[in-house]
């Protein structure tokens, strides 16, 4: 705290509908105004000029702006005053007027002379907190540590049990535990029960509290599988016991994740549901391998297909003839088992046999590896390499762009590399890659 002063009294202001005067329109005001708007404040900015961001808020009708210098009487009717100009004399005059009117004010330029301080604040889910130390850098550092702990689930933030249970459908991302969303990780740390898929980021389960019930809902291809009806039953049953249930899935809950079935089952049973989107592997895995799904001058579209049902099967809803005739990038999920009939069908309906193809196994994980070849031969090469799911198949000319990226990455200085491809392929043309090294 500032030497020679009493400790400040911490208080959270509820500014909804209350006027706040912001004197100044520069960088400090630009940082402060969004938080005031989040609190519902009626913001008036007084400044001859304002930043582009503040001007955008004026155009949107979210704040009011008077384009002039600060003047006596500006504080009238305000509940809070922020003196944010780049002129200490103006800030002092604004703060003195506020003090005389018994209105709390914050001086951005002089903490010792300020009647109130703005804490270094953070928000994790519905938890908002602030840190005040008298040293802005130290306060921000402490804030960042606490925020990181809450977001990563290292700080236990399980709330007092609410009456009635609830369910959260959480997308865990493509596999790397660092690619789950901040909100998803927060809810995982609060869970009483976690129902986890095989492709969910399993290493995060080690961070759960000892009393959290873990339900293994893995669906292994041609192996053990928990029926969807049984999963739905578990979600409803645990929530009806008053527990908070997190359904942790790989990718995104609503992209081939049966999230729609699960939310319907919960809502039909009167269970409230929160949906937390995830980073779908259909986009993230090619990106981690350096393959853009669209590229200017090559393609303006991509199609994502669940290929666990082969072409010609009466259960399939995919128009393979249209995909064969299209030049769009194709992203196939769950395709390894049916790769031979898929490629045969695409060739029959017009795809060039030389169309480049990449098969990415264990995308975003340390074991990620790739086969890059052509449409005519990819099924045989995948079979010869003995590749197993999970895998993403990318078909289209963008694969060649990925090859260019990989080649330039090999030549770049180590510290400048974003996608690292070893200099020589492994067995059967398999090329390991790592992201972010």
Contact in structure between 342 and 334 (CB atoms under 8 Å): no
In a domain, 140, yes or no: no
Tokens encoding 110: 């002089």
Query: Tokens 């949906």 belong to which residue?
Result: 275
294 and 377, same domain (yes or no): yes
pLDDT attached to residue 237: 96
The number of domains in the chain is 3
Q: How confident is the model at residue 120 (pLDDT cuts 50, 70, 90)?
A: confident
251 and 288, same domain (yes or no): no
pLDDT attached to residue 217: 87
Which residues carry out catalysis?
A: 197, 219
The CATH number linked to 32 is 3.40.50.720
69 and 174, same domain (yes or no): no
For 29, the enclosing helix (H) or strand (E) is: helix 27-38
Q: What would the mean pLDDT of 232-256 be, rounded to a whole number?
A: 95
Mean pLDDT of the chain: 88
326 and 289, same domain (yes or no): yes
50 and 101, same domain (yes or no): yes
* Whether residue 390 has a cis bond before it, omega within 30° of 0: yes
Contacts of 264 (CB under 8 A, 6+ apart): none
pLDDT attached to residue 3: 42
Q: What is the pLDDT of residues 94-111, one digit of tens each?
A: 999 999 999 999 999 998
Contact in structure between 234 and 204 (CB atoms under 8 Å): no
Q: What is the pLDDT of residues 358-369, one digit of tens each?
A: 999 999 998 899
pLDDT attached to residue 429: 39
Nearest to 143 by CA among 131, 151, 153, 135: 131
CA dihedral 46, 51, 55, 57 (to 10 degrees): -90
Give alpha helix (H) positions in 289-333: 320-325
pLDDT attached to residue 153: 65
Nearest to 313 by CA among 287, 289, 341: 341
In a domain, 265, yes or no: yes
pLDDT attached to residue 422: 37
Q: How confident is the model at residue 123 (pLDDT cuts 50, 70, 90)?
A: confident
HSE value, Cβ hemisphere, 13 Å, CA-based, for 286: 27
The percent of residues above 70 in pLDDT, for the chain, comes to 89
416 and 306, same domain (yes or no): yes
Q: How confident is the model at residue 1 (pLDDT cuts 50, 70, 90)?
A: very low
The percent of residues above 90 in pLDDT, for the chain, comes to 69
Q: What would the mean pLDDT of 70-92 be, rounded to a whole number?
A: 96
Cα-based distances in Å from 350 to 171, 259, 294: 36, 34, 20
Cα-based distances in Å from 118 to 25, 30, 162: 17, 14, 32
Give alpha helix (H) positions in 295-416: 320-325, 339-348, 378-385, 398-411
Are β-strands 244-249 and 193-196 bridged in parallel, bridged antiparallel, or unpaired? parallel
234 and 362, same domain (yes or no): no
Detail the DSSP E strand segments found in 62-201: 64-66, 80-83, 104-107, 120-124, 127-131, 166-171, 193-196
Domain that holds residue 413: 283-435
Backbone angles phi, psi at 76, to 5 degrees: -60, 130
183 and 75, same domain (yes or no): no
In a domain, 318, yes or no: yes
Q: How confident is the model at residue 343 (pLDDT cuts 50, 70, 90)?
A: very high
In a domain, 188, yes or no: yes
For 261, the enclosing helix (H) or strand (E) is: helix 259-268
Q: Which of 197-211, 222-236, 244-258 has the highest mean pLDDT?
A: 244-258
Q: What would the mean pLDDT of 15-24 be, rounded to a whole number?
A: 96
290 and 252, same domain (yes or no): no
Alpha-carbon span 82 to 122, nearest angstrom? 20
Boundary (domain end) residue, out of 118, 149, 177: 118
Whether the pLDDT of residue 266 is over 90: the answer is: yes
pLDDT attached to residue 72: 96
Q: What is the pLDDT of residues 180-226, one digit of tens each?
A: 998 998 899 889 999 998 888 888 888 888 889 999 887 665 556 78
pLDDT attached to residue 136: 80
Q: What would the mean pLDDT of 321-338 be, rounded to a whole number?
A: 95
Alpha-carbon span 247 to 208, nearest angstrom? 14
């Amino acid at each position: 705290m500032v030497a020679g002063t009493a400790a400040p009294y911490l208080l959270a202001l509820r500014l909804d509908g209350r006027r706040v005067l912001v004197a100044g329109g520069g960088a400090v005001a630009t940082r402060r105004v969004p938080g005031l708007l989040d609190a519902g404040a009626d913001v008036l900015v007084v400044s001859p000029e304002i930043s582009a961001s503040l001007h955008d808020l004026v155009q949107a009708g979210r704040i009011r702006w008077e384009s002039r210098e600060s003047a006596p009487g500006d504080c009238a009717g305000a509940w809070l005053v922020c003196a944010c100009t780049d002129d200490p004399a103006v800030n002092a005059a604004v703060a003195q007027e506020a003090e005389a009117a018994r209105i709390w004010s914050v001086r951005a330029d002089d903490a010792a002379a300020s009647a109130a301080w703005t804490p270094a604040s953070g928000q994790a889910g519905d938890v908002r907190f602030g840190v005040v130390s008298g040293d802005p850098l130290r306060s921000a550092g402490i804030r960042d540590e606490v925020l990181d702990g809450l977001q990563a689930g290292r700080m236990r933030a399980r709330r007092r049990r609410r009456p009635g249970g609830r369910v959260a459908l959480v997308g865990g991302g493509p596999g790397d535990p660092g690619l789950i969303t901040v909100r998803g990780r927060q809810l995982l740390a609060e869970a009483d029960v976690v129902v986890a898929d095989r492709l969910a980021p399993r290493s995060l389960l080690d961070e759960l509290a000892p009393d959290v019930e873990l339900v293994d809902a893995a669906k292994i291809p041609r192996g053990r599988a928990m029926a969807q009806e049984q999963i739905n039953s578990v979600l409803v049953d645990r929530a009806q016991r008053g527990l908070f249930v997190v359904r942790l899935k790989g990718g995104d809950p609503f992209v081939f994740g049966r999230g729609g079935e699960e939310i319907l089952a919960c809502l039909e049973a009167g269970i409230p549901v929160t949906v937390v989107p995830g980073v779908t592997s259909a986009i993230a895995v090619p990106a981690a391998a350096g393959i853009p799904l669209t590229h200017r001058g090559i393609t303006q579209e991509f199609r994502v297909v669940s290929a666990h049902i082969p072409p010609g099967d009466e259960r399939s809803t995919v128009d393979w003839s249209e995909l064969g005739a299209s030049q769009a990038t194709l992203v196939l999920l769950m395709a390894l088992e049916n790769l031979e009939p898929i490629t045969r069908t695409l060739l029959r309906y017009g795809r060039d046999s030389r169309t480049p193809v990449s098969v990415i196994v264990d995308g975003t994980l340390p074991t990620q590896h790739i086969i890059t070849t052509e449409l005519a031969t990819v099924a045989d090469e995948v079979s010869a390499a003995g590749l197993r799911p999970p895998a993403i198949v990318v078909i289209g000319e963008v694969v060649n762009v990925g090859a260019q990226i990989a080649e330039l990455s090999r030549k770049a200085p180590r510290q400048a590399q974003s996608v690292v491809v070893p200099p020589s392929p492994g067995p059967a043309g398999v090329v390991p890659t790592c992201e972010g090294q």
